[in-house]
Structure 1
Amino acid sequence: MPRLRVFLVSGLLVATFGCAPTQTVSRRGQDNQLITEEEIEASRAPTAYDVIQKLRANFLSYRGETSFDKRKSQPYPTVYVDGQEFGPLSSLRTIPASQVATIRLYRSWEATTKFGTGNMGGVIAVTTRQ
């Protein structure tokens, strides 16, 4: 009976922590999917696109075909500003870096959960300064 209890408790712990959400964190203890206001200011980049290109170029990378129907495939992230759909990656060039508080990359599965279907290329979410 004690072995069964140990086995069940161990299994429960593995299931609980194995299913917990994860966050990508760099060696410096910073979230790799987030560009902070401090990083944006330090980059001295003129636009949100330039900030991303300088600090996290992988945000702008091709994600591959996301659908068997090429007309519906979104191989690049969609840009959202303050929770509203804003446009394709090129729209980041119209956002002055001085107006940006944070920039976060949501991978396809995160983007679908947070912003709904149709974001299989992921989402770059820009939060502006208030």
Structure 2
Amino acid sequence: MSIKITHTDKAPAAIGPYSQATVVGNLVFTSGQIPIIPETGEHVKDDIKKATRQSLENVKAILENSGSSLEKVAKVNIFISDMNNFAALNEVYSEYFSDHKPARCCVEVARLPQDNLVEIEAIAEI
């Protein structure tokens, strides 16, 4: 089985030695997406709801570029800098995953790349 690397300009470019996503068989694995606006490179750091929305929009763009969609997500991993933001994060998350509820974990971490509030990654079927 071969690994295909995918990239879209509709999501931020990788800021390190990794890919936006890899496709293995009929699965796509996104890298963690911090809330960077791809058109400007600006980070959304002032509001957890806006940051969550931007991270999910980045994941969505990568999935669609890889031949998948949010409706085909099997697993989501969320890293959050402050668990006090959990309810606000869930409010936005439920807009993206309302009827379809993939398996998920959400953990508080000491620090995220470039001091962002949230990072989200997904595994989805193609």
Instruction: Assess same fold via TM > 0.5.
Output: no
Greater per-residue strand proportion: 2
Greater per-residue helix proportion: 1
TM-score under structure 1 length normalisation:
0.31
Larger-Rg structure: 1
TM-score under structure 2 length normalisation:
0.31
